[in-house]
């Protein structure tokens, strides 16, 4: 019996409510020996109070030493083994903008980038253009046609877009063309089997044409592609946990993750205040709330330590508004670490706290990396967090006689 079957057997009805607050890329590192992480530097009186009354630990998104993407990181938090469910980012981006992905489709996440005169990447995100400039660049890409397939290009946000290739005999075992570095040229796509090689050939032609049509649009004068994916088979949140779940997220990809597992996607607007207001408005309609906060990740990726500290403090300030709704279980964690020092995702375990009336409090009084290392949850795999959430919510019965 696998874990999901066990949950189906043990789950019990209840009127309890669970809030999962995910601060994307929450974990960090000190900038120098003897220094403090972003979370340790930030003033977080509200999260500290939750840590004092709750139980804490460090979650491992995939395996020790494995750096996760946002997809695997969130799937683990939702209770899906990220090693079993390998879901490409393209599908998540497409679902996040509510694009209907079909059986003949390969969905791909696109990044606009800036190319130098020598064809090397000078900015992987093209200066993070406005959404209006993104849409204008997408219109250019929509002029590209390739015989034998249909192409769909959709704007996402800032430097991101979605490319969907529709046709017979396409595969998704294709490498990313984004080298995730500057000073080097984009990579050529290659397929891992015959069907995927067909996709790769389409992609290489698309990228070459994209460079031509975007040439006058600097700094948006190139494109890289990553996260090739066909639609996966995955059990829904309601099927596994018996929970009616809502996702309150701003960025499309995280809406896509939630939609993939069957959560209702709510539209809170672009602000954290709007997310909390939406949470309050639908409080009586759902059992489980996934609340996503992006800016701890984006500031870390930008290498902006002070800005990440500020974003953590901004998140801390809204915690009392969530607690005022009286959730039976309140969890705060991240999908992975994004240390400003590294300017990227990392493998470091993520600070996690769980607050409920029946949790066993530990001696931790501050919510940060060093403190959570001493917490009562220890270091655990993120895929087990939903088991703890369900148990603390009184939604799991006894196993065995």
Non-local CB neighbours of 398 within 8 Å, separated by 6+ positions:
10
Averaged over 227-249, what is the pLDDT? 93
pLDDT at 391: 98
Nearest Cα neighbor of 319 from 28, 49, 42, 54 is: 49
Query: If you count them, how many residues does the chain have?
Result: 401
Non-local CB neighbours of 141 within 8 Å, separated by 6+ positions:
153, 161, 163, 210, 213, 214, 223
Helix pair 385-392, 3-10: axis angle to 10 deg:
10
Domains of the chain by residue range: 3-86+234-392, 92-229
pLDDT at 110: 96
User: CA angle 273-274-280, nearest 5°?
Assistant: 95
- CB of 190 closer than 8 Å to CB of 132: no
pLDDT at 232: 83
Q: What is the pLDDT of residues 234-244, one digit of tens each?
A: 899 999 999 99
Non-local CB neighbours of 184 within 8 Å, separated by 6+ positions:
120, 121
Q: DSSP letter string over 280-310?
A: HHTGGG-SEEEEEE-HHHHHHHTT-HHHHHH
Task: Indicate the pTM of the whole model.
Answer: 0.82
Banded model confidence at residue 215, pLDDT cuts 50, 70, 90: confident
Q: What is the pLDDT of residues 115-151, one digit of tens each?
A: 999 999 999 999 999 999 999 999 999 999 999 999 9
Instruction: Kindly state the tokens that stand for 129.
Output: 């253009």
pLDDT at 141: 96
Non-local CB neighbours of 375 within 8 Å, separated by 6+ positions:
51, 55, 56, 57, 58, 352, 353, 362, 364
Instruction: Kindly state the tokens that stand for 379.
Output: 């270091």
Banded model confidence at residue 86, pLDDT cuts 50, 70, 90: confident
pLDDT at 103: 85
Q: What is the pLDDT of residues 18-35, one digit of tens each?
A: 999 999 999 999 999 999
Across 207-221, 294-308, 325-339, 365-379, least confident range:
207-221
pLDDT at 98: 85
Banded model confidence at residue 269, pLDDT cuts 50, 70, 90: confident
- CB of 114 closer than 8 Å to CB of 219: yes
Q: What percent of the chain shows pLDDT beyond 90?
A: 87
Rounded Cα distance between 340 and 31, Å, is 8
pLDDT at 96: 85
Q: Kindly report the CATH number that applies to the domain delimited by 92-229.
A: 3.30.70
Q: What is the pLDDT of residues 182-211, one digit of tens each?
A: 999 999 999 999 999 999 999 999 999 999
User: CA angle 221-223-228, nearest 5°?
Assistant: 170
Please check whether the two domains, 3-86+234-392 and 92-229, share a CATH topology: no
> What's the mean pLDDT when you consider all of the chain?
95
pLDDT at 300: 96
pLDDT at 270: 85
Q: Kindly report the CATH number that applies to the domain delimited by 3-86+234-392.
A: 3.40.720.10
Averaged over 143-165, what is the pLDDT? 95
Q: What percent of the chain shows pLDDT beyond 70?
A: 100
Asked whether the predicted pLDDT for residue 217 surpasses 80, the reply is: no
């Amino acid at each position: 019996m696998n874990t999901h079957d066990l949950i189906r057997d043990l789950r019990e009805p209840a009127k309890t409510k669970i809030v999962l607050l995910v601060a994307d890329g929450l974990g960090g590192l000190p900038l120098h020996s003897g220094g403090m992480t972003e979370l340790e530097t930030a003033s977080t009186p509200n999260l500290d109070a939750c840590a004092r009354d709750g139980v804490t630990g460090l979650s491992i998104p995939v395996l020790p030493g494995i750096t996760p993407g946002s997809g695997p990181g969130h799937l683990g938090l939702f209770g899906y083994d990220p090693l079993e469910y390998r879901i490409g980012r393209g599908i998540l981006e497409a679902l996040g903008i509510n694009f209907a992905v079909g059986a003949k489709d390969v969905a791909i996440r696109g990044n606009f980038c800036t190319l130098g005169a020598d064809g090397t990447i000078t900015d992987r995100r093209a200066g993070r253009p406005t959404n209006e400039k993104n849409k204008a660049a997408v219109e250019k890409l929509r002029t590209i046609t390739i015989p034998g397939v249909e192409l769909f290009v959709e704007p996402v946000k800032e430097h991101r877009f979605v490319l969907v290739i529709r046709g017979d005999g396409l595969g998704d075992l294709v490498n990313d063309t984004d080298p995730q570095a500057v000073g080097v040229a984009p990579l050529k796509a290659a397929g891992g089997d015959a069907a995927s090689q067909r996709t790769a050939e389409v992609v290489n032609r698309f990228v070459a044409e994209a460079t031509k049509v975007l040439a006058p649009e600097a700094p948006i004068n190139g494109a890289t592609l990553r996260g090739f994916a066909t639609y996966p088979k995955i059990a829904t949140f309601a099927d596994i946990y018996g929970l009616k779940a809502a996702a309150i997220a701003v960025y499309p990809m995280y809406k896509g993750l939630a939609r993939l597992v069957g959560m209702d996607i709510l539209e809170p607007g672009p602000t954290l205040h709007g997310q909390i207001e939406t949470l309050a408005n639908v409080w009586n309609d759902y059992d489980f709330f996934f609340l996503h906060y992006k800016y701890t990740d984006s500031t870390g990726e930008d290498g902006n330590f002070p800005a990440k500290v500020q974003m953590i403090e901004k998140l801390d300030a809204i915690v009392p508004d969530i607690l005022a709704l009286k959730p039976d279980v309140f969890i705060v964690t991240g999908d992975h670490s994004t240390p400003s020092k590294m300017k990227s995702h990392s493998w470091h375990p993520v600070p996690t706290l769980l607050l409920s009336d029946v949790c066993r409090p530990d001696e931790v009084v501050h919510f940060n990396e060093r403190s959570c290392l001493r917490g009562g949850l220890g270091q655990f795999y993120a895929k087990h967090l939903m088991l703890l959430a369900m148990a603390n919510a009184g939604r799991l019965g006894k196993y065995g006689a």
